[in-house]
């Protein structure tokens, strides 16, 4: 039997994109200690890319250089672009405040974190001559669209300060791409889940925690809100694809399969073997009713999601069960 291929080429094949060649390529990842950021760092390093990071906290993996600092300070933004032994070939900007609830409570703070920081990083990259910039964005920039499927062409009408800050960051990226010749892409992610998400407060984690005991999971409104859930490995593939293809403008990344809250509950019960308790709660304002995405563009560039929700949640449960504590009663 032939040996299983290893190394950067094999990694790229798994992710569905061609490998970035050479060991001299350098990348900076903001939010490197986070759920998605740590997965992206690991994938880049497996491809032979020299990675440095920046985050408010130190990453669990201490084997790569990571600057601990606040990117709302423009001096930090400038410093990280020049760190790691010279000008990077790409900056992946994942650091952000992502809570919709917090954005409604503190819109000014979310603006500073999500818009002003993006501006500082883009300007630092422009001055340093960094050729590529990839932004982590969201389909929340679109809001309640009349389009049956959300795509890169959907009109931007965000419902919350969070969505508005990501839309503003996308506009800054567009301006820098057109004005200065940078390859600037915004990867619009759906709901990301997977191993490593134990610190997140998301619906899937709430169900998995509740399966171990504790308080029922609140289902807001009628529970028929529809979402697309994308595995973190597929999300990382989207970031790498945006860099590989030197994509200009937004690109939607998801699973292409949307389900409502009740279906997520059913799958969580199935993978944990527990009838997870729930309770009804009033609907939350500013919530998108449905997220169904059109992956035509990303698929045409080589993106193929590898995980469906049932198998992906089962993998997540197996990986995270030892780390999870029950929800508080």
pLDDT bucket at 287, cuts 50 / 70 / 90 = confident
Determine the Cα–Cα distance for residues 231 and 204; give it in Å rounded to an integer. Answer: 12
Q: In the chain, how many H helices and how many E strands?
A: 12, 12
Whether 22 shows a pLDDT value over 80: the answer reads: no
Residue 228 structure tokens:
């697309």
pLDDT bucket at 95, cuts 50 / 70 / 90 = very high
Between residues 292 and 15, which one has the greater pLDDT? Answer: 292
Whether 5 shows a pLDDT value over 90: the answer reads: no
Give residue 78's pLDDT: 84
Paired sense of beta strands 258-260 and 226-231, if any: antiparallel
pLDDT more than 70, % of the chain? 91
User: Which domains does the chain carry?
Assistant: 8-191+231-253 (3.40.50.720), 203-226+257-323 (3.90.25.10)
What is the separation of C-alpha 146 from the centre of its chain, rounded to a whole number of angstroms?
Answer: 24
Q: How far is CA 117 from CA 164, 265, 279, in A?
A: 15, 37, 39
Give residue 284's pLDDT: 78
Whether 18 shows a pLDDT value over 50: the answer reads: no
Alpha helices in 98-153 (DSSP H): 100-105, 107-111, 117-128
Determine the Cα–Cα distance for residues 86 and 101; give it in Å rounded to an integer. Answer: 39
- DSSP reduced 3-state for 85: coil
State the pTM of this model.
0.89
Strands in the chain per DSSP E: 26-30, 50-55, 66-68, 90-93, 132-138, 183-189, 191-193, 217-220, 226-231, 249-253, 258-260, 278-281
Question: What torsion, rounded to 10 degrees, do the Cα atoms 328, 309, 298, 55 define?
Answer: 30
Give residue 17's pLDDT: 40
Supply the DSSP symbol for 258.
E
Indicate the range of 40-49, 83-92, 159-168, 175-184 predicted with least confidence.
83-92
pLDDT (average), residues 20-40: 86
């Amino acid at each position: 039997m032939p040996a299983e291929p290893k190394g950067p080429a094999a990694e790229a094949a798994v992710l569905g994109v061609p490998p970035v060649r050479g060991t001299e390529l350098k990348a900076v990842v903001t939010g490197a200690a986070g759920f998605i950021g740590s997965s992206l760092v690991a994938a880049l390093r497996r491809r032979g890319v020299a990675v440095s990071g920046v985050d408010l906290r130190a990453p669990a993996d201490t084997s790569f250089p990571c600057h601990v600092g606040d990117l709302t300070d423009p001096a930090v933004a400038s410093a990280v672009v020049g760190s790691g032994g010279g000008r990077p070939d790409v900056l992946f900007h994942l650091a952000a405040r992502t809570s919709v609830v917090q954005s409604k409570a503190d819109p000014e703070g979310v603006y500073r974190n999500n818009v002003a920081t993006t501006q500082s990083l883009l300007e630092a990259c422009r001055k340093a001559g960094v050729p590529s910039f990839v932004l982590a964005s969201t389909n929340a920039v679109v809001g309640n669209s009349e389009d049956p499927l959300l795509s890169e062409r959907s009109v931007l009408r965000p419902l919350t300060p969070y969505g508005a800050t990501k839309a503003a960051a996308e506009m800054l990226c567009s301006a820098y791409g057109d004005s200065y010749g940078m390859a600037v892409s915004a990867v619009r992610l759906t709901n990301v889940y997977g191993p490593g998400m134990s610190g997140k407060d998301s619906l899937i984690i709430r169900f998995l925690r509740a399966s171990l005991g504790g308080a029922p999971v609140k289902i807001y409104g009628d529970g028929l809100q529809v979402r697309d859930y994308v595995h973190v490995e597929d999300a990382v593939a989207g970031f790498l694809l945006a860099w590989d293809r030197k994509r200009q403008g937004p690109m939607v990344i998801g699973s292409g399969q949307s389900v409502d809250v009740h279906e997520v509950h059913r799958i969580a019960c199935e993978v944990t073997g527990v009838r997870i308790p729930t309770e009804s709660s009033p609907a939350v304002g500013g919530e998108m009713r449905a997220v169904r995405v059109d992956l035509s563009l990303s698929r045409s560039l080589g993106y193929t999601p590898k995980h469906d929700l049932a198998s992906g949640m089962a993998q997540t449960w197996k990986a995270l069960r030892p780390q999870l504590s029950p929800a508080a009663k």
